[in-house]
Structure 1
Amino acid sequence: MGRSHHYEVTVNWTGETRSYRSYERSHEVTADGKAPIAGSSDPAFRGDPARWNPEELLVASLAQCHMLWFLHLSATDGVVVTGYTDSPTGVMVETADGGGAFQEVVLRPRVTLADPGQAHLLPSLHERAHGLCFIARSVNFPVRHEPS
């Protein structure tokens, strides 16, 4: 068995839940030594649109994980990346019982290389990064990537 890693955060909310329509959804996510993340629910669920919601954070986590593995593999394979931008999207569908689930997330990384002649190596690097991403390996929905 491999090494075990543990992650601790604190999610803190205060208020009153007297009614579904009136309770505050704003909260903070914190961890020792890090700036707090201002969280809320999605605006579709009466949340604050100026704050991060869990669904956005899940999509961001998948994109970050893929990027970090891609950069790692590029560095070890001698491919010099000078820029990386992703504009991922996620689709979540609500169910009749009020719950829901993600149907898919699509990553759209745009990579800039020091040597454009190495562009033919990018599909393989993306495929390998996808296969190694801890987060993508942990979710039960497809995570596709459409690099450009």
Structure 2
Amino acid sequence: MSDHSFVTSLSWTGSTGTGYDVYAREHELAMAGDVVRASSAAAFLGDPFRPNPEQLLVAAASSCQLLSFLAVAARARLDVVDYRDEAVGHLLEGDRPMWVARIVLRPHITLGEPAPRAKVERLIEVAHRECFIAASLRSEIAIEPVLVGVAD
């Protein structure tokens, strides 16, 4: 059995000595040579024009579902020609600690050749079970697909 590691690095400079309301939330994340400037969410005094950890979590779940679905579709000889997702994560503020309790994935999947709806829906479920990120989270992940090119 192999063990896989996924390395990122993070850097921040500033001073929290100025108080909670004014210290800089912007920081840099480096992954595989790319640098992303991130911040906390606007609700937590961050820069609304930079990605925040909650968005990165939702993006990871969305990306993993895409990659898992493409893999199972290819193995099943299903011709997927387009896949888009508008995903959203829901952070609950009532309980402490706060957490992203629910992630809704809304993949819009277009097939090049018609396939039975039941087959495509089953492959979406298989992909969800095979998604490493989904398996790593305690968040509920709901998938609400829109399918184009299926045979009913």
What's the TM-score bracket when you normalise by the shorter of the two chains? over 0.9
CA contact (8 A) 2:88 2:103 kept: yes
Over aligned residues, Cα RMSD in angstroms? 1.3
**Structure 1: segments with no counterpart, 5+ residues:** none
1:21 maps to which residue? 21
Amino acid corresponding to residue 31 of structure 1 in structure 2: M
* Percent identity between the two aligned chains: 37
Secondary structure in 1 matching 2:56: helix
1:3 maps to which residue? 2
Post-superposition offset of 1:3: 2.0
The answer as to 2:78 corresponding to 1:79 is: yes
- How many residues get paired? 145
TM-score by length of 1: 0.92
Structure 1 runs (4+) deviating above 4 angstroms are none
Post-superposition offset of 1:118: 4.1
CA contact (8 A) 1:91 1:102 kept: yes
Instruction: Give the Cα separation in 2 of the matches to 1:70 and 1:8.
Output: 24
Instruction: Give the Cα separation in 2 of the matches to 1:61 and 1:69.
Output: 12
1:35 maps to which residue? 34
2:56 maps to which residue? 57
Residue of 113, 117, 122 corresponding to 1:115: 113
**CA-to-aligned-CA distance 1:8-37 (integer Å, 9 cap, x gap):** 1111000011200110000000134x2201
Instruction: Give the Cα separation in 1 of the matches to 2:11 and 2:130.
Output: 32
Post-superposition offset of 1:117: 3.6
The answer as to 2:66 corresponding to 1:67 is: yes
**Structure 2: segments with no counterpart, 5+ residues:** 147-152
Instruction: Give the Cα separation in 2 of the matches to 1:7 and 1:131.
Output: 21
CA contact (8 A) 2:78 2:115 kept: no
1:102 maps to which residue? 100
Post-superposition offset of 1:96: 5.8
Q: Compare the two structures and name the one with the higher strand fraction.
A: 2
Post-superposition offset of 1:86: 0.5
